Amino acid sequence: MPTRADVTRGLVLRGPGLVDVELQEPRSPGPGEVVLRTLVSALSAGTEGLLWRGDWPPGIPWELQGPPSVYPVHPGYAAVGDIESVGQGVDPSLVGQRVFAFAPHGERSVVAIDRIVQVPAPLDPEDAVFLATLETALTVVQDGGPVVGETAGVLGLGPVGLLAGLVCAGSFSTVVWDTQPFRRARAKALGLDQVKELGEESCDVVLELTGSPRALDRAVAATRFSGRVVLGSWYGSRPVAVDLGGRFHRSRIELVSSQVSTLSPRLSGRWTKARRFEVALGYAARFRPSRLVTHRFRLEDAAEAYRQACERPGETLQVLFTYG
């Protein structure tokens, strides 16, 4: 039987609402891989919330694992840690380097070299762990394509919505809203002073980031003629009822799907994922998103961490797992 020194701990979701700490035998890195010793990982209430609630859409694989079945799944995709060892073909000078990695929640992970990004020395790990969230926020703003002089509306002030609001507020007139007073207050504390309900036909672009299917009608109603509604929310298997039989029919409003795993074709001639991530790194240093952390948990308290993140939006922004 392996001893505690021979194993590492990671999270596994065995079904909706069923999370365990799993003892895993660590493996050596293969060619093009590194071993990451995790310092902190970020729980995504949006994507991981679909798994936690059982709303994951049928037939869609969990990206880090690939197989078509969902459970059991090792959740998480945003971690910061130090490289412990490297495999064949990887620069050995990377050992000891601090990196962001698209890796699951756990003490150690074997990660492909193309799924890590070096973290600049001045950047705190709790700021760097927001890089995936910042990349998503940047993507939804780019997909909306507001121009100077237009008004951008942000519905939903979770971590993605707050960061998207900060991105927009640097260049455009920006209105933000959430049904939760706690989140509206946090937006004002971050300097997003236009915190108010989006009026009828008041915005040129609306970023729908609530995660709630009920919000789509509100987003369409707030969008001006020939404007754009960007769906950054992922509703999963939940049905969406939206009124397209009234004003929408003559409005020429575009409904735009946005997902960070790809770039908009209209940007692909100038932008790459690497360029987008470099911009996200700059925003991490500028915004200091660790200010959005409301709760920290150890792995053994994972069930409470998921309940906090996915079931208590009125008192929660970002939940982190900490290691050490």
Summarised one tens digit per residue, pLDDT across range 137-192 is: 999 999 999 999 999 999 999 999 999 999 999 899 999 999 999 999 999 999 99
Q: What is the pLDDT of residue 23?
A: 93
Q: In residues, how long is the chain?
A: 324
All CATH 3.40.50.720 domain ranges in the chain, comma separated:
132-257
The mean of the pLDDT values for the chain is 93
Q: What is the pTM of this model?
A: 0.94
Q: What is the pLDDT of residue 120?
A: 94
The CATH number of domain 132-257 is 3.40.50.720: yes
All CATH 3.90.180.10 domain ranges in the chain, comma separated:
4-124+290-322
Domain at 4-124+290-322: CATH code? 3.90.180.10
Q: Taking 90 as the threshold, does the pLDDT of residue 206 lie above it?
A: yes
For 207-249, what is each residue's pLDDT tens digit? 999 999 999 999 999 999 999 999 999 888 888 888 888 898 8
Q: Taking 90 as the threshold, does the pLDDT of residue 106 lie above it?
A: yes
pLDDT band at 67 (very low <50, low <70, confident <90, very high): low
Find the mean pLDDT for residues 82-109: 96
